[in-house]
Structure 1
């Protein structure tokens, strides 16, 4: 039996913001290539940018978790597929119907109306940060509460219990959590969101329930799974993207002025898109199954075979992005990255995410111009066992160096 690389490939602890170095080798030699996942299956791994774009838009590659050959990258992924699933993972017809319901809530106009609220939340969280002790964990003190409060307000979820919801979300996003822990988290999350759907308040959840569940167009189970999915994808990636973006900017301090100078919407949009490309916070591959024979990158992928589209590798492809390992907030064109997907599976909340990231970075560095790591970067406890690039804690400080004063 051929020996295939074990998936996921190992990251380099000395370069925590970079994709595993093995992807660079695969891009140069063999993409797509077979890899071996935790359960012994051998899906195709796509690492090149052009191949990834092809795979993301080809309708013969499906996200339907019930499709034969669908590749699960962890025990958690498999267990999550056995109950009610978030709408992108449903069969095509059911996915299209659910997306049509949800996408109406994410119009650019509605997102723009949220901007003053998002700014107020950012300022409130920074006020609390400044009133607290130094050093502070930027994730717990700012990034997480900011991201959670914004998505809870938009969805119409109560803030009570948000820490527990995040804890459960981390279990579901873990690559190593025991099956019984994942099963328990799935059960608790499902019960929580079913109860909310049965008695909805205002916000997106209430509008969906009244317009689509009460009319029989959408089941309570699917509605609960969709609201849970929007919370899951709408807070964790944003929070860790804020935190890791701050780390990236501190390592490229010459770039910070792009965000703190005179405001220019187009410049800020470009800057946020570049940070999304550079970090690609969701570093688990996009999972697909082939519903028909398809050729990608000169390789024949047969019906019923699994495909993993490695977005962080594609976003560092030298053939698509000159000097890809350098952060350039003025890089153009900025929207060629694949961090938020492409085609019919482009991230539903991409506009809201862009607003949150722009406000978070700009407000942090304007109000705390001397923001800095409180420890050497080698001492930051980065995470390597979850589907998101992040850290267990991000100790930060600002203001005068009190140690030097003594």
Structure 2
């Protein structure tokens, strides 16, 4: 087993976490790993230990600290720009997160369900009207995810494709520091222009409201607001789109579970099925980065103040001491305590929106196209092997 992070996946079984994690959970649940820049961090692989790390405010997501475990050159390049709020010291993070809480209340997100349903239906209408086989990612998953977050934030649709390309550069571990810096600058410029436009003429959008209530009143600087919106766009379109693709693939590869899902009508059952897909697939497959601010003991291992930590969500989500038969997709599973959205004070701000998107997308896709199937053998599907998110380049489907 190499201790270079991230660990290699078996791309013959791409939906499975690296096999090393199972061994680590049993033999070395807290172990040192070497990062791309030669630094080391502690990898946490067991469910209860990941829970302990993410629940403990003494282990912080503060990338300004020297021991922060950067996973790639693009991650390190962020330090040269205005940092998004969730990479700030906890006091700053909490202040800026509080500015968004009202925008992402579950009842407010639920009110968006009809609009999301229209977006999904319109994308499917267009896809069904065209030729097939078709790439589900290009024809459906990415357009839906981008449109939903653009409508919420108040980002014009006509420039969204460029923003996606810049986001992919930032999210690639193959990007150089220079490439990542240029992409970050491009995103910051776009969102700073949107901040300035909303200062002149506020819109009834998330960006418009935050600018009016926080920037115009001097509570938030324009660069901080731009970094906030850039981060919301990045997190609000890439992970959902990739999950649309991988969730669909997971179901298409499991005829028994697919038949079970297609028969579901009860909204609660659909919600539970989505939660199981999130546990099983886990698009956010890299460790949750933290730095210990004091000496702490996790899983019997002393971690010194200033040392970096990677709490591994896909390993925790397959922990056999928590989930019975964890490597099996079971849409009727009752335990839904997964880490797809993180945990603790850094629990995903937009999780309520994401869950609604997943429920609408998977229910509508498989109900409207009951004969949906892969158009190529599974082994021909190309995965994004160097991105911070687990995803596919294309997902050819037919019906």
TM-score, length of structure 1 as denominator length: 0.96
Q: How far off is 1:4 after superposition?
A: 6.2
- Structure 1, 136-145 or 262-271: larger mean CA deviation: 262-271
- Residues 364-399 of structure 1: CA deviation (Å, up to 9, x unaligned): 10111111111000000111100111111111111x
Tell me the secondary structure at the aligned position of residue 318 of structure 1.
coil
Indicate conservation of the 8 Å contact 2:104/2:350, yes or no: yes
For structure 1, which runs of at least 5 residues remain unmatched after alignment?
A: 399-406
Q: What is the CA–CA distance in structure 1 between the aligned matches of 2:374 and 2:261, rounded to whole Å? A: 19
Aligned partner of 1:58 in structure 2 is: 56
> Is 1:318–2:320 an aligned residue pair?
yes
Q: What is the CA–CA distance in structure 1 between the aligned matches of 2:242 and 2:184, rounded to whole Å? A: 22
- Residues 344-378 of structure 1: CA deviation (Å, up to 9, x unaligned): 11111111000000110010101111111110000
Q: What is the CA–CA distance in structure 2 between the aligned matches of 1:382 and 1:329, rounded to whole Å? A: 24
| Counterparts of residues 372-383 of structure 1 (less than 5 Å) | 372-383=373-384
Indicate conservation of the 8 Å contact 1:383/1:392, yes or no: yes
Indicate conservation of the 8 Å contact 1:35/1:43, yes or no: yes
Indicate conservation of the 8 Å contact 2:7/2:18, yes or no: yes
| Counterparts of residues 108-119 of structure 1 (less than 5 Å) | 108-119=106-117
Q: How far off is 1:254 after superposition?
A: 1.8
Q: What is the CA–CA distance in structure 1 between the aligned matches of 2:250 and 2:79, rounded to whole Å? A: 34
Aligned partner of 1:276 in structure 2 is: 278
Indicate conservation of the 8 Å contact 1:140/1:393, yes or no: yes
- Residues 64-112 of structure 1: CA deviation (Å, up to 9, x unaligned): 1112311100001000132112211111111001111111101111111
Q: How far off is 1:187 after superposition?
A: 1.0
For structure 2, which runs of at least 5 residues remain unmatched after alignment?
A: none
Q: What is the CA–CA distance in structure 2 between the aligned matches of 1:329 and 1:303, rounded to whole Å? A: 41
Q: What is the CA–CA distance in structure 2 between the aligned matches of 1:297 and 1:262, rounded to whole Å? A: 40
Aligned partner of 2:304 in structure 1 is: 302
- Residues 258-280 of structure 1: CA deviation (Å, up to 9, x unaligned): 43335222211111111110011
Aligned partner of 2:353 in structure 1 is: 352
Aligned partner of 1:213 in structure 2 is: 215
| Counterparts of residues 178-327 of structure 1 (less than 5 Å) | 178-200=176-198, 201-327=203-329
Aligned partner of 2:28 in structure 1 is: 30
* Pairing partner for 1:89 from 87, 90, 97: 87
Q: What is the CA–CA distance in structure 2 between the aligned matches of 1:390 and 1:219, rounded to whole Å? A: 35
Q: How far off is 1:195 after superposition?
A: 0.5
Q: How far off is 1:45 after superposition?
A: 0.4
- Residues 230-273 of structure 1: CA deviation (Å, up to 9, x unaligned): 11000000000010000000111222344333522221111111
Q: What is the CA–CA distance in structure 2 between the aligned matches of 1:108 and 1:189, rounded to whole Å? A: 28
| CA RMSD of superposed structures (Å) | 1.1
How many residues matched? 395
